[in-house]
Structure 1
Amino acid sequence: MKNAFSINILFLLFTIIGLALVSRLPVQLHPHVQGDVINVNFSWPGMGAEVLEREVTSPIEGSLSALRGIRSITSRSYKDRGEVTLTFKKGTDMDAARFEVASLMRSIHSRLPQGVQLPQVSYRGGGGDDDPLLMVYTINGEGSSYALQEYVSRYVVPRISHLKEISSVNVTGATPMEWELAYDKERLRLAGLSVRDLQNGVGNYLSRKELGMTSIQEGKEEETIHLTFTGMAADSLIWDDVVVGKSDKRILHLADVATPKLKETLPRSYFRVNGLNTVYLVIHSVQGANQVTLAGNVQTAIQELSHAFPPNFSMLVNYDASEHINTEVQKITSRALLAIIILLLFVLFISRRWRYLFIIALSLVANLSIAVIFYYFLGIEIHLYSLAGITVSLGMIIDNTIVMADHLRHSGNRSAFLAILAATLTTMGAMTVIFFLKEEQRLNLVDFAIVMLVNLSVSLAVALFFVPALMDQLPIKTVRKARLIRRKRRVVKTTLLYGRFLSFAFRRRWALILIFVWGFGLPVFFLPDKIETKGDEEPAWYVELYNKSLGNQTYVNNVKPWVNKILGGSWYYFSNYYSGSNFNWDDSRTRLWARGSMPDGSTIHQMNEVFIGLENYLAGFDEVEMFTSNIHSIDHATIEISFKEDHERGTFPHQLKNELIRQAIGIGSADFSVYGVGQGFSNASYDGMRNNRLQLRGYNYDLLLQQADQFRDTLLQNPRIQEVIVQTGVSWRGKPRYEFVMGLNRDRLEEAGSSLRNLFANLLYVTLNDQNAGYIPGKDGMTAIRLRETNKGTTSVWDMENSLLQSSEANFRLKDVGWLTRERTGSVIRKHNQQYELNVEYDFIGPWELNRRVRERYLDQIQEELPMGFSIHDVSGGGGWNRDEKSQYWLLLLVLAVIFVLCAILFESLLQPLAVVASIPVAFIGLFLTFAIFKINFDQGGYAAMILLCGLTVNAVLYIINDYNNLKKRRSNQSKLPLFLKAFNHKIIPILLTTLSTILGLLPFLMAGKEEGFWFSLAAGATGGLMFSVLAVVVWLPLILIKKRSVVKQG
């Protein structure tokens, strides 16, 4: 070969560059997905959903709606909290958008009501709802826990928050001190004082007012001084000195009517790790972030900050998600290296020449190293799926090298490259179908496809240039004559036996073809039980014929199941098993969750007491690695439990789940859901789903509620409709909420000399919440002063109705002017693009067709009655992911079309490509049986195996057909069967070797067991299919490729 030395030097240079770039590739467990969603979360403790939506959610939405690039804006207002979700258009700079949103929240916070915490902005990547926990630090140091929290919030949190792909940074575990001024409202009333008097008295005592300036002359010098009034000494706080009013010419001090006490503020949320109360820095990353790199960046940032830490201050890593990722990546990498070693040993075994092994090994190293250059410039990350692409491509890379090397040894030319090119292009064409999948299905597999395309493209260049150049510089000796003669004798005997088998097979061609078709299966099980017609339409003759024959009830119940089993073949067997598989396999660590909720009227502190009991119980299990408790409200409280690696895959998680269920059943004050492994458990009373759901949309919530109530009354007039409910949620887990609604007789209210404002002030006095009375500066910051009623929380409905209320004319009771009723209320107010949404749900008793007609009639009727700007929509079909979605499997037909076109171009024929495409279903028989017989979960690895088989099966067929066509050109007068046998003899050994090498490359992942999910299903599916692909080459191909009359003529 000309320029062999120069080609070798050039490939050596590229190999060195690739090896140098390996360390620069980002490593993580999952692919990074650029998300397009930003969440804004806020809270206002003690406020209902309607007040929070009006006072907080709407202003925030208004300020955010003007941002550029927004595709949609959705908000949800709950009791005590709310959230606004911004979805941006593709291509938006999300870092800039997040910064702009955070700036808007800081600027609008001062205009929000007092008590609303600063809204938290979090960036959500793709592929999930909750941002994953990245790291947890334990904070230690001198001073109070609140002082430590304040220090970390001021100096550490801003630095970590600005790191790219950080979702949120929170400091938890410390609560500030506050002065509690406890009073008795009856005692206060007898003294003729109000809460406002206490606030004014404390305010005056703490006030500091500038009185002006004066001048003092001492001798000849005149000095100007400022006069300031202050109610308290600069270095002392004496509550006995606070004057709050007077009674019977006696001055009343605060200590006469209230009891001051310095205590910790009641927490608004709880976060604990392993049940320990300490200060934590909790860091979450966005979904799909490179957690290995991100954890390193966090540690680097804290290391830089540590130089300025106060004495005896330290931050210790309590949890680091990147440790698990590093372990998993190392495990996968070690298996990939084991696959390479197995493949190289296999090459040595079949060649028995060290020089041949050296050439194959050098070619493999060059291929992978040059591919790294493309990984780097294409921005490909090393993760679970890209490593799968590298591992699977190893066998095909070696196959191309072996085929070219063998052809060079026997023929001395590179004419085999055309077959290698066609086989590789068909595999690459099969990979391109991944880019046509739906986004949520494409996210994980796209890097798998790109890596495969890169590696196979580089393998073509290696096979065409590097392998011939190496073999020119390192020639391999030919086989000795004695061994060659023995090999030829074996070939002759095998050919005679195979020729006799083909003669037998051609005499029974159609019987064998029917056996293969039956083995794959006929899709009779997809036929519907009955063809439905819309409305009053007259069914077509073929519909009527179908319903009377294949749609007959007797046939459907008694005959159809047997027909499906008999004619469905392996496809039906696999389809039945697939319905119970989980396509979106989750390869994260085994975790167990317990989610608690309490009824209305409960407090977060009562929920905390329940969780402390569960934490004490979990602390007794050595198998548990860590459990974290997050309590945000009475509806949002969870314990997340992770296990030590030795116990993750065993039975202990299931045993602990059962123990937790037993504990949950014994807790009467809270409902629990326990899930994560096995079948989930819940003792909560949810609403469930109803068979009809209509959605009203409008821009005025009160008017929308009014329209929904009128619609409900209209529906209830139909005797077939029961239990009509107006709510906002769309989940079967919706929990019913109730509230007390006050009705008023305005005439009686005026007769009592009161007004709505006066009545509201009186009711606040009856059910007093904590009142802020000011702040006192201290060494740890500002200390709040709270006025708290001693009997807070004991007000009953009777107290509300019978307490004396004051007006300008006389005292009165609430029951004199109004009444209280307990009504069901929505737990959330939902808006989409600033349109309120309400669902009217009901159950219809009757057949489905009648239900549909009634629903459509009501839709038309209500739409005509709704005011302008309001609309109604049928959302009875539900939402979310449909497990019966089959679009990804129809795309396999696109794979077949691509392969057909490529083969038609290569062979300049339309008949031979049909033989190539027809071999693929034979390989699928092996895949179907493998998953169904061995009960393997069919996930994304199984789908990748299907795509892979389309290419690998075609490769073997292409090698034989290409050689067969070349022989026909040279020996046009010879019969076709001997030519096929000769082509078969030339290529069957490389085909068997390449098939076996691919299987051996996947062997380490088969040995890992079913727990490896994606890897195991990929390896098992590809292995089963490859075994049957040999059957496709040996039996199926000649039956389709060679005409029977040619065989008869030859015979």
Structure 2
Amino acid sequence: MQLPALAIRNHQFTIVLFLLLVTLGIVSFFTMPRSEDPQFDFSAAVIKVVSPGTIPMDMEKLVVDPIEEALNELEDIKNIKTNVEDGLVVTRIEFLYGTDPDDKYDEVVASIARIRSDLPSSIVALKIDKISPADVSILQLALVSERASYSELKRHAEALEQRLERASGVKRVDVEALPELEVQIKVDQRQVNALGISLDEVFSAVQGAAQNLPGGHANGGDRRFTVRTSGDYQSLQQIEDTVIRGSQGKFIYLRDIATISQGETLPTYRAKLNGEKAVFVSVVQRKGSQIFNVMEGINAQIEEYKPRIPSEIKLFTVMDQSISVERQISSFFNSLNQGLILVAILSIIVLGFKPSLVVVSAVPLSIFIAIGWVDLAGFGLQQMSIVGLVIALGLLVDNAIVVVENVSRHLRDGDTPREAAVKGSSQVAWAVASGTLTTVLSFLPMLIMQNGSGTFMRAMPVTVVVTLFASLLIALTLTPLLASKLGNSAKKTTRAQKKLESIADTRYSSILLWALDRPAKVIGISVMMLVGSLALFPFIGVSLFPKAEKPMILVNIDMPEGSTFARTQEVADEVSKRVRQHELVNDVSQNVGRGNPRIYYNIMPTRQTVNFAQLFVTLNDYQLSAVEPLVDTIRSQVGDIAGAKITVKEFMQGPPLVAPISIRIVGEELADIQRVAMDVEKLVANTQGTVGIDNPVGNFKIDLKVDINRDKAAMLGVPLQQIDRTVRTALVGTNMGSFRDDQGEEFPLVLRLSQYENPQIETFEDIKVRSNSNQLVPLLQIAELNLETSIARFQHYDLERMARITSDVLPGFTAEKVTNAIVEKLNGYDFPEGVHYAIGGEQENRKEAFGGMAKTVLLAVFGIFAVLVLQFRSFVQPLIVFAAIPFALVGAFIALFISGYTFSFTAFIGLTSLVGIVVNNSIILVDYANQMRRDGLEKMEAIMAAAKTRFVPIILTTLTTVGGLLPLTLSGSSMWSPMGWAIIGGLLVSTLLTLIVVPVLYKLLGKMPEDIEV
């Protein structure tokens, strides 16, 4: 390869090229997007439909079925999931990997628009959102006050919203937990009964007066006039003056039978911070922006607005993601810097000061060049890309070490610095290039994985690949150039290098000779070690993604079905009070009626009902060693609250996951599904390691059924539709139009009864409906009230009815083992006909992730084999190189077993990374043995010479790779330590075995491709 010689000959061009590349990297480093987690989109959407007072069965028939049928007509669907409960439907549709997120979102919107007119008129909200992990609040503020009114809190929240939206990089600002305001027309039921006026009559009169129909236009001579008719209401006084009935000059006005006022709707969502009334303001970052720049603009706006906030209102920061990003980036760069220092120390000890400068210079140069390329590829700086740099740190000096060590050897043999640089680098150029290419191919599986896990991790393999290519470019151009300037300093041999060379000439040579004389025994021992390490696998355990090391947890409170908003609020207050007692707790954000605003990339708020509350608890420590005991303490501390089902949730890494353990019970008949689900719930509860079990269909709901005597209603001439509308008006109110105040704000006009602040059963005694003969008929004369038990909520999965039983896992247990124990019990359960189960949760995601990984690993292995065939021009010698791969398993499994980590997705990444890393040592050894044979040595002489000559660079490259990964590995990160241990353990063991087994295999199989008889 002539590239090193060209780089040395055209040294000015080489230096200018690298100056430009490094400058691009430095500029990118300061300008590229920074975030906590990967920012990406995938093809999925969620549809939320709210219809208050509609039971789940009716929601299924009237809302779910039409929506799912419309969505099912779309192409490339992966799955459709729906949660159905009282008054709420949440449908999530996910499309196959590779489809365009924007196009699929538009298709979903168009599908829902086509059937919108077929959906019930009782729907008060229908919202379609694109699911994006990047669409997360980076900042959650709280305006807190017990004395200030909601209207005052609203004024300041909206003013703050407008200001924050001006900040650069802000996508949107959401104001949460404000009560909705309405114009309430509260009718005195007994008074209208006495006057013979029905609620339907009041409804018709107000609705007719509230309509604003354009009059059109009229021509007068040569002029055209726009005709304005009555228009809508201009003031509350006009509403009061609405004529309900009039005859013979006498009128009954609305003010005579009702009170009209502007007030709050029935409570559906209220929030508190540390026990005080609060309104939340959350900020979503624009994708591709730099979080620190965004926060700088946000903080400037906040400081500017703070003086305008009255003293009785306090502004608190509940969550600031930039703090976590700063901590993570600092932690990763500390690992990077520490790794760089270790690599430098090892290089100096073995190679000497000046040669090590050439080696170590490759590190910052490669990193900065890679950062520029990562930025051009559209990936920002976040945990995945930084970990990619850390992984590459140990690898990118390998090429430089091999080149510098070979150049130094030529200098010691008497060549001039320039000759040594050209010969030494050219001699190993193809081995370095093919070694880099095989390492790149080992990261191919992560690069082309077509699932959520692959998308989540993609920035890491991209970063590793571009960093390795940058290091290869440096090793073949700049490193030879710098090495040519070393002069006689590179001829000197360090004490460590002498020691390693002495070991190579004595102990290693004697061990190698012993092994070459006993090839069968060596291979047998190696195979036994491999089998023994595989036997450790069941004890290691399998997992997907670990818990996230976040200083925050969620506490979900599920009250019995039928609980009032006030009762849920009362229990949430008590739980919040208990949680706040812990020293580890900073703040408790309390949400009643809905989940906390979205503050984590894989958690989507879904529940929206009066019997649900969620506490978002921020902590002053993120270490799992502190968080996990707190979670256990809170679980036991709130376990005595009667009637409430309280689950404490820790945040998890990776793609969205409802719970680590999830069992789907699928069937047609809800009664069968419910019965089986309750049995499975008990089965899961009796399995060791489960906690926080949730079974949505296990909760029964008692409904008050208005059974209408249709014959009586028909005989008295009372339309059924009028009965339904009257009942709704009497209980929760009916929307009759809208009212626009002088500020331009619109409020719904709602008709309801005034007897009770909240709907009461006693209301039915006063309800009367009008017949076709204009007579008022008591409702209870044509209907009776009966209590009915019904299902509270259930789910659909791919259009089938389903119940999902979920569970968290206690510390010390793995989801894999617990799930397998549950499956064993399920296989012995007698399922009724038409009902079956499916496993979801972590096991489903893991099979999808690992399955996709396994397929692409095979592709990578064939790619590596093809590269080796091209290099060695032989089909046999690549098999010798491949012998190092199985032994990587030995070290990886031993390291995971000793360190106590499970075989997680990141450990799998470490293992696949090893495929490319460990073959490099074999490539260097086999390639040099072939060169020795071409120079006239016999096979045994060549393999001995190659093994002793390459002993030092192989040991050094292994130590630098380990040194680069050691700080990250020892950091104790639940996410990245397993990967580090897998790589370090696998590399150490495979290196030691490679130095023995590869020469043995070369003796048995190492036929030269050009001339077998050499």
Q: Does the alignment reach a TM-score above 0.5?
A: yes
**1:766 Cα shift?**
7.6
Q: What does residue 485 of structure 2 align with? A: 473
- Aligned-partner SS, 2:45: strand
CA contact (8 A) 1:53 1:829 kept: no
- Aligned-partner SS, 2:991: helix
Q: What does residue 375 of structure 2 align with? A: 376
- Higher alpha-carbon deviation: 738-747 or 436-445: 738-747
**1:919 Cα shift?**
2.0
- Aligned-partner SS, 1:40: strand
Describe the shift of the 1:1034–1:735 C-alpha distance in structure 2 as closer, same or farther (beyond 3 A).
same
**Aligned to 2:525, which of 515, 525, 528?**
515
Q: Does 1:904 align with 2:880?
A: no
Matching of residues 271-290 of structure 1 within 5 Å: 271-284=271-284
CA contact (8 A) 1:52 1:77 kept: yes
Q: Matched residues in 2 for 1:906 and 1:919: separation?
A: 18
CA contact (8 A) 1:592 1:653 kept: no
The number of residues matched between the two structures is 917
Q: What does residue 1032 of structure 1 align with? A: 993
Matching of residues 382-461 of structure 1 within 5 Å: 382-411=381-410, 412=420, 413=423, 414-461=426-473
- Higher alpha-carbon deviation: 400-409 or 485-494: 485-494
**1:332 Cα shift?**
0.7
Q: Matched residues in 1 for 2:677 and 2:200: separation?
A: 53
**1:373 Cα shift?**
3.5
**1:396 Cα shift?**
2.1
Q: Matched residues in 2 for 1:712 and 1:819: separation?
A: 28
**1:984 Cα shift?**
1.6
Q: Matched residues in 1 for 2:245 and 2:397: separation?
A: 94
Matching of residues 425-574 of structure 1 within 5 Å: 425-477=437-489, 479=491, 491=501, 495-506=505-516, 508-521=518-531, 569-574=532-537
Q: What does residue 5 of structure 1 align with? A: 11
Describe the shift of the 1:315–1:92 C-alpha distance in structure 2 as closer, same or farther (beyond 3 A).
farther
Matching of residues 400-799 of structure 1 within 5 Å: 400-411=399-410, 412=420, 413=423, 414-477=426-489, 479=491, 491=501, 495-506=505-516, 508-521=518-531, 569-579=532-542, 582-630=543-591, 631-632=593-594, 633-634=608-609, 637-646=612-621, 648-651=623-626, 653-655=628-630, 657-668=632-643, 670-676=644-650, 693-695=666-668, 732-738=695-701, 739-740=703-704, 746-747=710-711, 750=714, 754=718, 756-757=720-721, 760=724, 769=733, 775=739, 777=741, 781=745, 786-791=751-756
Q: Matched residues in 2 for 1:893 and 1:125: separation?
A: 31
Considering only aligned residues, what root-mean-square deviation do their CA atoms show, in Å?
Answer: 5.5
Tell me which of the two structures has the higher relative contact order, counting C-alpha pairs closer than 8 angstroms and 6 or more residues apart: 2
- Aligned-partner SS, 1:135: strand
Q: What does residue 38 of structure 2 align with? A: 31
**1:328 Cα shift?**
0.8
CA contact (8 A) 1:204 1:231 kept: no
Structure 2 gap ranges (5+): 216-226, 411-419, 595-607, 653-660, 682-692, 806-823, 1008-1014
Describe the shift of the 1:304–1:110 C-alpha distance in structure 2 as closer, same or farther (beyond 3 A).
farther
**1:357 Cα shift?**
3.1
Deviations along 1:44-64, one digit per CA (max 9) or x if unpaired, are 323334655677678888999
Q: Does 1:335 align with 2:335?
A: yes
Q: What does residue 954 of structure 2 align with? A: 991
**1:589 Cα shift?**
0.8
- Higher alpha-carbon deviation: 252-261 or 266-275: 252-261
Describe the shift of the 1:990–1:893 C-alpha distance in structure 2 as closer, same or farther (beyond 3 A).
same
Aligned partner of 1:644: which letter?
L
Aligned partner of 2:877: which letter?
Q
- Higher alpha-carbon deviation: 46-55 or 429-438: 46-55
**Aligned to 1:48, which of 33, 38, 55?**
55
- Higher alpha-carbon deviation: 107-116 or 935-944: 107-116
- Please identify the structure whose Cα radius of gyration is greater: 1
**1:964 Cα shift?**
1.3
Q: Matched residues in 1 for 2:829 and 2:233: separation?
A: 78
Q: Matched residues in 1 for 2:859 and 2:867: separation?
A: 12
Q: Matched residues in 2 for 1:346 and 1:233: separation?
A: 82
Q: What does residue 704 of structure 1 align with? A: none
Describe the shift of the 1:115–1:170 C-alpha distance in structure 2 as closer, same or farther (beyond 3 A).
farther
CA contact (8 A) 2:143 2:316 kept: yes
Aligned partner of 2:379: which letter?
I
- Higher alpha-carbon deviation: 977-986 or 991-1000: 977-986
- Aligned-partner SS, 1:979: helix
- Aligned-partner SS, 2:33: coil
Q: Matched residues in 1 for 2:726 and 2:61: separation?
A: 23
Deviations along 1:740-760, one digit per CA (max 9) or x if unpaired, are 556666556545665534654
- Higher alpha-carbon deviation: 397-406 or 27-36: 27-36
Q: Matched residues in 1 for 2:614 and 2:443: separation?
A: 42
CA contact (8 A) 2:401 2:953 kept: yes
Describe the shift of the 1:511–1:960 C-alpha distance in structure 2 as closer, same or farther (beyond 3 A).
same
Q: What does residue 217 of structure 1 align with? A: none
Q: Matched residues in 2 for 1:768 and 1:425: separation?
A: 69
Q: What does residue 684 of structure 2 align with? A: none
CA contact (8 A) 1:771 1:788 kept: no
Q: Matched residues in 2 for 1:351 and 1:423: separation?
A: 21
Q: Matched residues in 2 for 1:688 and 1:894: separation?
A: 32
Aligned partner of 2:370: which letter?
A
CA contact (8 A) 2:182 2:264 kept: yes
CA contact (8 A) 1:139 1:316 kept: yes
**1:601 Cα shift?**
2.9
**1:158 Cα shift?**
11
Matching of residues 142-157 of structure 1 within 5 Å: 145-146=150-151, 149=154, 156=161
Describe the shift of the 1:485–1:272 C-alpha distance in structure 2 as closer, same or farther (beyond 3 A).
closer
Q: Does 1:270 align with 2:275?
A: no
Aligned partner of 1:477: which letter?
S
Q: Matched residues in 2 for 1:657 and 1:301: separation?
A: 37
Q: Matched residues in 2 for 1:387 and 1:821: separation?
A: 60
CA contact (8 A) 2:274 2:588 kept: yes
Describe the shift of the 1:169–1:99 C-alpha distance in structure 2 as closer, same or farther (beyond 3 A).
farther
Matching of residues 866-1015 of structure 1 within 5 Å: 876-879=837-840, 882=843, 885=847, 886-887=850-851, 888-889=853-854, 891-972=856-937, 974=938, 976-1009=939-972, 1012-1015=973-976
Describe the shift of the 1:488–1:271 C-alpha distance in structure 2 as closer, same or farther (beyond 3 A).
closer
Aligned partner of 1:437: which letter?
M
Q: What does residue 290 of structure 2 align with? A: 293
**Aligned to 1:18, which of 25, 28, 53?**
25
TM-score (normalizing by structure 1): 0.73
Deviations along 1:410-447, one digit per CA (max 9) or x if unpaired, are 22212122222232222122122323534123223332
**1:497 Cα shift?**
4.1
CA contact (8 A) 1:202 1:774 kept: no
- Aligned-partner SS, 1:277: strand
Aligned partner of 2:342: which letter?
I
Structure 1 gap ranges (5+): 212-225, 522-568, 679-686, 696-707, 859-873, 1047-1051
Q: Matched residues in 1 for 2:517 and 2:70: separation?
A: 80
CA contact (8 A) 2:179 2:265 kept: yes
- Higher alpha-carbon deviation: 310-319 or 444-453: 310-319
Deviations along 1:204-233, one digit per CA (max 9) or x if unpaired, are 99999999xxxxxxxxxxxxxx99999999
**1:665 Cα shift?**
2.5
**1:674 Cα shift?**
2.7
Q: Matched residues in 2 for 1:597 and 1:269: separation?
A: 15
**1:340 Cα shift?**
1.0
